[in-house]
Amino acid sequence: MQESPVDIPCPICSSEGSLYMIAHVDEIPYFGEHTQVTVMCHSCGWKQTDFIPAEGKKAGCWSLVLENTNQLKSRVVRSSSCTIRISELDLQVNPGSNSTGYVSNVEGVINRFLEVINMVLRDLQNDVSSKLIENESTELSQTIKEINQLEEIIDTLSNIGSEGQEPFTIELLDPHGHSMIIDEAATERSLTDEEIATLPTGPDPAVFSA
């Protein structure tokens, strides 16, 4: 595939003349025909992929209530402007400046959440050791409480559809309308004006808005 130069400095390392773009038209069942655009910097290695649907899409929120393990295989198209939320568990991933789009499935999205939670959990566990040594008992009980909460969340995320497990809802909120959950039980609604005003839209560089 052919790389074409992009005439703006790299949004990460500011290097001039290092940005290149590859675009190709692709088809994902139900998501439809779209252009997959990847921008990369040959200086620092920054890379970002996005999916631009052929038909204009409107800002939207896709929701799926997770009740059984079959749904783990459902496809997810997540664009770089998409916020992923699990309200029941107080979890949210915003599109940061390094946000990149990806095509995955529900399991892949949950694994990304688990990775981050496990990282935080390890930090807290290290905290416990140092607080034990320094004998800070008030802070210690707070940290242990936080650890227990995280372990409960991990438990819920890892045991979808098992007995006694409350279902939870995964939501994709995308002001650009380039994201989708492909499952027959998934529903779509428009974003409210308030959501459009407050949701982050991710990396700005004019690369994708052009």
Stretch that binds Zn ion, among 30-38, 40-48, 108-116, 132-140 (CB under 5 A): 40-48
Stretch that binds Zn ion, among 23-31, 38-46, 62-70, 174-182 (CB under 5 A): 38-46
Residue 43 interacts with Zn ion (CB under 5 A)? Answer: yes
Long-range contacts of 88-91 (CB under 8 A, 24+ apart): 88/166, 88/168, 88/169, 89/153, 89/156, 89/157, 89/168, 91/117, 91/153
Nearer to Zn ion, 10 or 186 (CB): 10
CB of 198 to Zn ion, least distance (A): 30
Residue 6 interacts with Zn ion (CB under 5 A)? Answer: no
Residue 97 interacts with Zn ion (CB under 5 A)? Answer: no
Tell me which residues in 57-86 interact with Zn ion (CB under 5 A). none
What separation in angstroms does the CA of 202 have from each of 74, 99, 129? 24, 6, 37
Residue in 7, 27, 31 with CA at minimum distance from that of residue 19 = 7
Nearer to Zn ion, 13 or 25 (CB): 13
Instruction: Please classify residue 88 by burial: count the beta carbons closer than 10 Å to its beta carbon, then call 0-12 exposed, 13-18 middle and 19+ buried.
Output: middle
Residue 13 interacts with Zn ion (CB under 5 A)? Answer: yes
CB of 90 to Zn ion, least distance (A): 34
Residue 44 interacts with Zn ion (CB under 5 A)? Answer: yes
Question: What sign results for the dihedral spanned by CA atoms 59, 28, 73, 121?
Answer: negative
The residues that touch Zn ion, with contacts defined as CB under 5 A, are 10, 12-13, 41, 43-44, 46
